[in-house]
Amino acid sequence: MVKINNYLSSKEAACALTKAVLEQIEHSGNKIFHIALSGGNTPATLFRLWAEDFRDIIPWKKLQIYWVDERCVPSDHPDSNFGMTKKILLDKVPLSEMQIHRIHGEEEPQNEAKRYSALVERLLPEKNTFPVFDSVLLGIGIDGHTSSLFPGQNSLIISPDTYIVNEEPGSGRHRIALTGLPILHARSVFFFVTGEDKKEILRKAIKGDDSCPAGYIIARLEEAELFTDSI
Ligand SMILES: O=C1O[C@H](COP(=O)(O)O)[C@@H](O)[C@H](O)[C@H]1O
Q: Whose CA is nearest to atom 1 of ligand 1?
A: 40
Distance 116 CA to ligand 1 centre (A): 19
> Is 141 close to ligand 1, i.e. is its CB under 6 Å away?
yes
Report the SS3 class of residue 127. strand
Helix or strand holding residue 49 (H, E): helix 43-51
pLDDT for the residue 69: 98
> Is 42 close to ligand 1, i.e. is its CB under 6 Å away?
yes
- Helices 213-220 and 199-206 cross at an angle (nearest 10°) of 30
Neighbours of 110 (CB within 10 A): 12
Q: Which CATH topology does 11-139+146-196+217-228 take? A: Rossmann fold (3.40.50)
Residue 106 burial (C-beta neighbours within 10 Å; 0-12, 13-18, 19+): middle
> Is 144 close to ligand 1, i.e. is its CB under 6 Å away?
no
pLDDT for the residue 165: 98
User: How confident is the prediction along the chain (231 residues), in pLDDT tens digits per residue?
Assistant: 899 999 999 999 999 999 999 999 999 999 999 999 999 999 999 999 999 999 999 999 999 999 999 999 999 999 999 999 999 999 999 999 999 999 999 999 999 999 999 999 999 999 999 999 999 999 999 999 999 999 999 999 999 999 999 999 999 999 999 999 999 999 999 999 999 999 999 999 999 999 999 999 999 999 999 999 999
Q: Whose CA is nearest to atom 6 of ligand 1?
A: 40
- Amino acid identity, position 132: V
Q: Report the nearest atom of ligand 1 relative to the CA of 138.
A: 12
Q: Whose CA is nearest to atom 9 of ligand 1?
A: 141
Distance 169 CA to ligand 1 centre (A): 14
pLDDT for the residue 1: 85
ipTM of the complex: 0.97
> Is 148 close to ligand 1, i.e. is its CB under 6 Å away?
yes
> Read out DSSP for 142-205?
TTS-BTTB-TT-HHHHT-SSSEEEEE-TTT--EEEEE-HHHHHTSSEEEEEE-SGGGHHHHHHH
